[in-house]
């Protein structure tokens, strides 16, 4: 904390206050900045209480490190985001969603207490019901940074049994999703985790996970096999709890294929320790820096690409409608599907409490031609999600005008809380971060 304060004091007046950290899971381009907050000492797990089912964690601790500390005690966080290097502070100030979100909500809903380093340089301890606590989710550092959190845990066994249910109709997919969310069971079997993949029109898979002590043979998707491909080939599967939690990280869902990492020959040569999301993120950074994909497209005479990397929440009853529109107008597949039910209202990301939304995640590029710099597909997605009563995460590029942005994310309330805890405006506003990319 002393180093953090010293790094804050060393910043020039008016300089952006940002974290000096080696990894990121954001897909927003931003203006380069010098300096940053030294959070190198805030990466640890302070305590795990397997009896009280709580953990005390520093804000820059990754979920990979947290799970490594809790799993030997037979406990894990209520929601473990899909990528290993997502931090506790990042998941709480942004949005984290995983297969337990249909019953456990979002990561910030399991936080009992939090220390926030504010724009004024103070450390404020906040709890549910406090203005700063309640406004913190989806603030992305515009209100400060979490330095310590106390979170709830849940007990888990060592294995996870998976049932892959295939559906050829999007309305049936939505109906089954809503039914499982309401009952937490399917065919008389308890469901502890729920997510799915839409591989294309008429090809949807809903995966129902059940915690189990079954000691049968488990699959390994950290080697030659690719997890998302198994959804098309298998009806049932068994994973260790550890491998289930990180099943999507090894291939960055399916995005590792862009680097050739799913080709059998390349995969045998690609070291296992480098098959993980943060490695792919660094490779993506090299592509952005040197415009590798764009240069190859120009050389091959292909239309210019628009990067379409988004996570949106749409009400489950509008899911089929959104997928039909997405197929017609964007045409990107596969997409990830993950139901989420918020337990209470949160000002800056106002999901209706108790209502089932489905997170639809899609990450890739679309050849659109000379209009690509204007991001026509992304702008259309924002419009349609809004029309369907949904919401959009802000970890990626955003194009809303200021009035629309403030109406969607309660800008006036966010501004009031920011003024209270950052009166000198040292932290970049959420709109400037998300839309102006500052």
Q: What is the pLDDT of residues 239-296, one digit of tens each?
A: 999 999 999 999 999 999 999 999 999 999 999 999 999 999 999 888 878 788 888 8
Is pLDDT larger for residue 16 or for residue 401?
A: 401
Rg of the chain over Cα atoms, rounded to whole angstroms, equals: 21
Domains of the chain: 2-154 (3.30.465.10), 159-247 (no CATH), 291-399 (3.30.70.2520)
Q: What is the 3-state secondary structure (H, E, C) of the chain?
A: CHHHHHHHHHCCCCCCCCEECCCCCCCCCCCCCCCCEECCCCCCEEEEECCCCEEEEECCCEHHHHHHHHHHHCEEECCCCCCCCCEHHHHHHCCCCCCCHHHHCCHHHHEEEEEEECCCCCEEEECCCCHHHHHCCCCCCCCCEEEEEEEEEEECCCEEEEEEEEECCHHHHHHHHHHHHHHCEECCEECCEEEEEEEECCEEEEEEEEEECCCCCCCCCCCCCCHHHHHHHCCEEEEEHHHHHCCCCCCCCCHHHHHCCCCHHHHHHCCHHHCCHHHHHHHHHHHHHHCHHHHHHHHHCCCCEEEEEEEEEEEHHHHHHHHHHHHHHCCCCCEEEEEEECCCCCCCCCCCCCCEEEEEEEEEEEECHHHHHHCHHHHHHHHHHHHCCCEECCCCCCCCCHHHHHHHCCHHHHHHHHHHHCCCCCCCCHHHHHCCCC
Given this model, what pLDDT does residue 32 score? 56
pLDDT at residue 31 is higher than 80: no
Mean residue pLDDT across the chain: 94
Q: What pLDDT sits at residue 287? A: 80
Instruction: Quote the CA–CA distance of 377 and 374 in Å, as a whole number.
Output: 9
d(CA 396, CA 8): 26
pLDDT > 90 fraction of the chain, expressed in percent and rounded = 88
Q: Which range is least confidently modeled, 9-23, 86-100, 113-127, 314-328?
A: 9-23
pLDDT at 147: 98
């Amino acid at each position: 904390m002393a180093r953090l304060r010293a790094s804050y004091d060393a910043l020039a007046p008016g300089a952006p206050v940002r974290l000096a950290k080696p990894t990121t899971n954001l897909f927003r381009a931003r203006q380069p900045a010098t300096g940053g907050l030294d959070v190198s000492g805030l990466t640890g797990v302070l305590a795990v209480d397997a009896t009280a089912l709580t953990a005390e964690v520093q804000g820059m601790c990754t979920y990979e490190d947290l799970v490594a500390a809790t799993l030997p005690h037979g406990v894990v966080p209520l929601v473990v985001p899909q990528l290993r290097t997502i931090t506790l502070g990042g998941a709480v100030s942004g949005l984290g969603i995983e297969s337990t979100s249909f019953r456990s909500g979002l990561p910030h809903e399991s936080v009992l207490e939090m220390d926030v380093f504010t724009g004024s340089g103070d450390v404020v301890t906040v709890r549910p019901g406090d203005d700063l606590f309640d406004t913190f989710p989806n603030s992305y550092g515009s209100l400060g940074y979490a330095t310590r959190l106390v979170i709830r845990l849940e007990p888990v066994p060592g294995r996870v049994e998976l049932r892959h249910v295939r559906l050829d109709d999007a309305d049936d997919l939505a109906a089954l999703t809503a039914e499982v969310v309401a009952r937490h069971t399917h065919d008389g079997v308890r469901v502890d985790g729920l997510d799915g993949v839409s591989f294309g029109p008429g090809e949807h898979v809903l995966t129902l996970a059940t915690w189990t002590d079954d000691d049968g043979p488990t699959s390994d998707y950290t080697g030659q096999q690719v997890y998302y491909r198994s959804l098309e080939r298998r009806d049932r599967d068994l994973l260790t709890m550890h491998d289930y939690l990180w099943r999507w990280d090894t291939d960055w869902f399916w995005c590792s294929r862009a680097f050739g990492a799913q080709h059998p020959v390349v995969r045998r040569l690609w070291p296992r320790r480098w098959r993980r999301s943060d490695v792919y993120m660094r490779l993506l950074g090299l592509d952005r820096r040197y415009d590798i994909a764009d240069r190859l497209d120009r050389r091959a005479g292909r239309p210019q690409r628009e990067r379409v990397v988004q996570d949106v929440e749409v009400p489950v009853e509008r899911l089929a409608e959104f997928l039909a529109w997405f197929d017609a107008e964007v045409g990107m597949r596969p997409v990830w599907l993950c139901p989420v039910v918020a337990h209470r209202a949160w000002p800056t990301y106002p999901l209706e409490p108790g209502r089932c939304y489905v997170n639809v995640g899609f990450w890739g590029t679309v050849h659109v031609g000379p209009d690509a710099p204007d991001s026509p597909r992304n702008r259309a997605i924002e419009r349609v999600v809004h029309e369907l009563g949904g919401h959009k995460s802000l970890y990626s590029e955003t194009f809303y005008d200021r009035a629309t942005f403030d109406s969607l994310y309660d800008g006036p309330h966010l501004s009031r809380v920011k003024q209270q805890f950052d009166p000198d405006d040292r932290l970049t506003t959420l709109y400037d971060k998300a839309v102006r990319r500052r």
